[in-house]
Amino acid sequence: MYTIDIPASTPYKVHIGTMLLEASGELVRTACGGERAVIVTDSNVGPLYAPIVSQSLKSVGYEVFTFTFSAGERQKRASTLIDILEFMAEHEFSRSDAVVALGGGVTGDVAGFAAACYMRGCPLAQIPTSLLAMVDSSVGGKTAIDLKAGKNLAGAFWQPRVVIADVGCLGTLEPEQLADGCGEVIKHGVIRDSRLFAQLEQTPLTTELLHSDLGMVAAIIARNVEIKRDVVAADEREAHARKLLNFGHSAGHAIEALEEYKLGHGSCVAQGMVLIASAAVMRGACDASVPDRIARLARRCGLDTTCRWDADRIYTEALHDKKRAGEHIDVVMPHAIGSCSIECMSLDDFHELLRAGDCRHAACGHEDMAQAAGQEANTL
């Protein structure tokens, strides 16, 4: 088992390993205290794992309740949040009792927001069951729901007291669900760790690896958590450095909305990363191999990198992004694998950036594109 300390405003531990669901009661008891626990889960995960977690919580003295909502991104909304809060109030939860988020990113976000809101804050335990949630959304304290205008537009920073990532849960994921988390794994390599990226190029994180070497999968997850820990520790409330974690997301979230959330988050982020990296190449700010390497690795992990939306449609949708501030937006620009910077640019410049990176008709060949761009610049 890996145990990683997160030095946030409320410090906590992330436990990564196998057979952790069975041990979750003791881990939650130690970190959260309280007399009651509500397991918040969805209709896919609940039948698989809620009985195990409930039994473990009961074994250490908790009175346990379970709130289950319909699975899917469309349930990450205000009505689900209110239903959870009403459920907790109906069962007379106090602010010292625990919310246990059991599931993927949607569950972690909405349950975390409920924990932040109920009686102005109560202890939260995150038990992520998807790769996406293990490597990204369960760590760092961001909680949110979606609004009609866009993704994650209402939320709160609320750190968990403990994160329990049982890697064995990944065995019940469909290949496309496992792939969905790879978008964030690839992103972490691009922004901070060229060695991780190169390792994934040698051994992509796929269902085959999950079945053959669970220890390596746990090590990859642990390294991703370390990367996120380091970024969040430097900037817990996203004033500057934490924005690095948004690489590919301004365009990616727009693509998600345009796809009506029917295309996985990982594929949308992968398309956003390729789009922005391609634009950086065209501007001479990025090594020409970067977008090609991102696209190749994403495809090997099972992600669709072919974007069917033009730059103008993506730009219009991205205007709702929470990273926009007035007439400016923060964009993470890659320079090489493992090296990125944050640029605050005007909306007009961002629009032109998206147009420069619009490679819907070019699956590869960025070195040639960069050479052509350089020749054009020399001519001018």
For 178, how many CA atoms within 13 A lie in the half-sphere containing its CB?
23
Kindly name the residue from 238, 243, 256, 351 that is annotated as catalytic: 238
**Do residues 357 and 282 lie in contact, with contact meaning Cβ atoms separated by under 8 Å?**
yes
* Contact indicator for 40, 97 with CB cutoff of 8 Å: no
Asked if 249 is an active-site residue, the reply is: yes
d(CA 238, CA 246): 10
Q: Which residue among 36, 76, 188, 265 is the active-site one?
A: 265
CA dist., res. 181 & res. 132, Å (int): 4
What is the distance between the alpha carbons of residues 348 and 318, in angstroms, rounded to a whole number? 12
Q: Which residue in the block uniquely carries the two structure tokens 């970067």?
A: 290
Residue among 242, 243, 351, 366 flagged as catalytic: 242
Q: Which helix (H) or strand (E) holds 332?
A: strand 328-336
Active-site entry in 29, 187, 192, 253: 253
Q: To the nearest 10°, the Cα dihedral for 240, 106, 354, 277?
A: 70
Q: Is 184 a catalytic residue?
A: yes
Task: Please say if 228 is a catalytic residue.
Answer: yes
Indicate which residue of 142, 192, 229, 351 is catalytic. 142
Candidate list 29, 76, 192, 249, residue with the active-site label = 249
Q: Hey, is 112 helix, strand or coil?
A: helix
Q: Could you say which DSSP state residue 76 is in?
A: -
242 an active-site residue?
yes
Marked catalytic residue, from 29, 36, 223, 228 = 228
Closest C-alpha to 63, from 40, 86, 37 = 37
Q: For this structure, is 265 an active site residue?
A: yes
- From 120, 148, 262, 361, active-site residue: 120
**Which candidate in 44, 73, 184, 229 is catalytic?**
184
Q: In this structure, what token pair is assigned to residue 354? A: 């998206």
How crowded is residue 70: how many other Cβ atoms within 10 Å of its Cβ?
A: 10
Question: How far is residue 233's CA from residue 306's CA, in Å, rounded to a whole number?
Answer: 34
Q: Which H/E stretch holds residue 195?
A: helix 194-202
Mutual angle of helices 214-234 and 194-202, in 10-degree steps: 160
Rounded CA gap, 100 and 123, in Å? 9
Q: Which of 298, 214, 311 is nearest to 20 (CA)?
A: 214
157 and 237 Cβ atoms separated by less than 8 Å: yes
Whether 91 is catalytic is: no
Our answer to whether residue 296 is catalytic in this structure is no
Nearest to 220 by CA among 273, 181, 171: 181
Catalytic residues: 120, 142, 184, 228, 238, 242, 246, 249, 253, 265
